[in-house]
C-alpha cells in the first residue's frame, strides 16, 4: 500500500510539472487524474498535497532563471542590476492582488468553486478566449521587461487573480492578460513564470499552516516525492514551452482546453 501511494504521488507530480506551466489548468488535470488514482490518505493531506507540490515547480523557475532573477550577479553591469531590481519590484507589485484576495476568500472559493462544473466551464471559456485573442492579435508593444510599466504589471496581476477560480489556469490567465495588454508571447510567458514564485510560495506556506503540519511519515514522504518529481518535470516543461512559443501561437492550447473541459463535464456527470 505504501509503495502504491508513492507511485500516485509520482504520477501526480508529473501531471503538476507539465500542466503548471502550460496554459491548460493544472487543477483541472489533477482533479481528473486523481479521480482514477485516488489517494488512500487523509483528506487534509490530499487537499494540501495538490497545493504544496507546486513548491517543486517554483524551484524549477529559480533554477532555470537564476541569473536573470539575481540582482547581485557579479557579472551584471550596474544597469543590468537596476533592471533586475526593477523586474522584482514589478513581480511584487503584480502579486499583491492575488495575495489579498486569496488570503481573504480562500475558504469561500475552495468550498464554493472546487467542483467539476466550475473547472470544466473555465477550461472551455478560457480556451475560447485564447483562440479569439490569437485570431485578433496585434503586433506586441512590450518586447522587453524594461518596456513593461508598473501599471501594466498591476493589471497583469489582476488577471492572475482570476486564476483563483479552479480550471482557469494561473499561467493561462496571466499570459492571456499580458498578451491583451500588448506583451509579446515570450515576455508574457516569462512574467507568468516569475509571478508563480510568490503566488505558489504563499499558497504552499498558507496551506501547510492551515493543515497544522499533522501528517504521517508516509504522507510527508509522498509530499516530498511529489514535489521533487514536479521540480524535475517542470524544468523540461518550461524549456519546451519557451521553445514552442517562439514559432507557434496559443491556439492549440485553446482547442485543447475546450476538449478537456468537455471531457471533464461528460465524465463527472454522465460516467462517474
pLDDT of residue 199: 87
pLDDT of residue 4: 92
Place of cell 454522465: 270
pLDDT of residue 1: 66
Q: Print pLDDT tens along the chain (272 aa).
A: 689 999 999 999 999 999 999 999 887 788 778 878 888 888 888 888 988 898 899 999 999 999 999 999 989 999 999 999 999 999 999 999 998 998 888 778 878 887 888 889 999 999 999 999 988 878 899 999 999 999 999 999 999 999 888 888 889 999 999 999 999 999 999 999 999 999 888 888 888 888 888 889 999 999 999 999 999 999 999 999 999 998 888 999 999 999 999 988 888 887 76
Which residues, 6+ apart, have CB-to-CB distance to 35 below 8 Å?
267, 268, 272
pTM summary value = 0.90
Closest among 46, 6, 45, 50 to 30, alpha carbons compared: 50
What's the rounded Cα separation, in Å, for the pair 112 and 175?
Answer: 26
Amino acid at each position: 500500500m505504501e509503495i502504491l501511494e508513492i507511485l500516485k504521488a509520482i504520477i501526480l507530480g508529473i501531471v503538476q510539472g507539465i500542466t503548471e506551466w502550460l496554459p491548460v489548468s493544472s487543477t483541472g488535470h489533477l482533479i481528473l487524474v486523481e479521480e482514477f488514482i485516488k489517494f488512500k490518505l487523509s483528506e487534509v493531506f490530499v487537499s494540501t498535497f495538490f497545493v504544496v507540490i507546486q513548491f517543486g515547480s517554483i524551484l524549477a523557475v529559480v533554477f532555470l532563471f537564476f541569473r536573470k532573477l539575481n540582482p547581485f550577479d557579479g557579472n551584471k553591469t550596474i544597469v543590468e542590476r537596476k533592471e533586475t531590481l526593477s523586474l522584482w519590484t514589478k513581480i511584487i507589485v503584480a502579486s499583491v492582488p492575488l495575495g489579498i484576495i486569496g488570503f481573504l476568500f480562500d475558504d469561500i472559493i475552495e468550498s464554493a468553486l472546487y467542483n467539476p462544473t466550475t473547472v470544466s466551464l473555465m477550461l472551455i471559456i478560457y480556451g475560447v478566449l485564447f483562440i479569439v485573442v490569437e485570431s485578433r492579435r496585434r503586433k506586441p508593444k512590450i518586447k522587453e521587461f524594461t518596456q513593461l510599466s508598473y501599471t501594466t504589471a498591476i493589471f497583469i496581476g489582476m488577471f492572475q487573480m482570476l486564476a483563483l477560480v479552479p480550471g482557469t489556469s494561473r499561467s493561462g490567465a496571466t499570459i492571456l492578460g499580458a498578451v491583451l495588454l500588448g506583451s509579446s508571447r515570450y515576455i508574457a510567458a516569462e512574467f507568468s513564470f516569475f509571478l508563480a514564485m510568490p503566488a505558489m510560495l504563499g499558497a504552499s506556506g498558507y496551506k501547510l499552516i492551515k493543515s497544522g503540519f499533522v501528517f504521517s511519515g508516509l504522507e510527508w514522504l509522498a509530499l516530498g516525492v511529489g514535489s521533487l518529481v514536479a521540480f524535475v518535470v517542470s524544468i523540461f516543461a518550461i524549456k519546451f514551452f519557451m521553445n514552442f512559443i517562439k514559432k507557434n501561437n496559443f491556439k492549440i492550447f485553446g482547442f485543447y482546453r475546450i476538449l478537456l473541459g468537455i471531457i471533464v463535464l461528460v465524465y463527472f456527470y454522465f460516467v462517474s
